[in-house]
Structure 1
Amino acid sequence: LKLSPALETEISNMFAVGDGAGVSRGLVQSSASGVVAAREILKRRIV
């Protein structure tokens, strides 16, 4: 998958996180990737 720094895919508003995104291995890294995506989603809702 091609991902932005916020873990968004080439499809607008679709994020890939955790082990399925292929950018992390393990529970802590997968959880952190979820936080990165969640922060981006929340930031967009505020604007």
Structure 2
Amino acid sequence: MRDSLRMLEEREEQRAAKLTALREDIRKGVESGDGLPAAAVLDRLEAKYRK
């Protein structure tokens, strides 16, 4: 029973850490400025790898 509770607590701690990291990544993305249109990015990548 104790092992099960310990495992559950560890899983919850890992989940909380992942959620914190995800929120930080989202914050950084929002603060990084305006994005680029997907079509422009894909056109650039197609031209790059067409060579």
TM-score for the superposition, normalised by structure 1: 0.45
State which structure, 1 or 2, has the greater radius of gyration over its C-alpha atoms.
2
Larger helix proportion, structure 1 or 2? 2
TM-score for the superposition, normalised by structure 2: 0.42
Structure having greater relative contact order (Cα 8 Å, sep ≥ 6)? 1
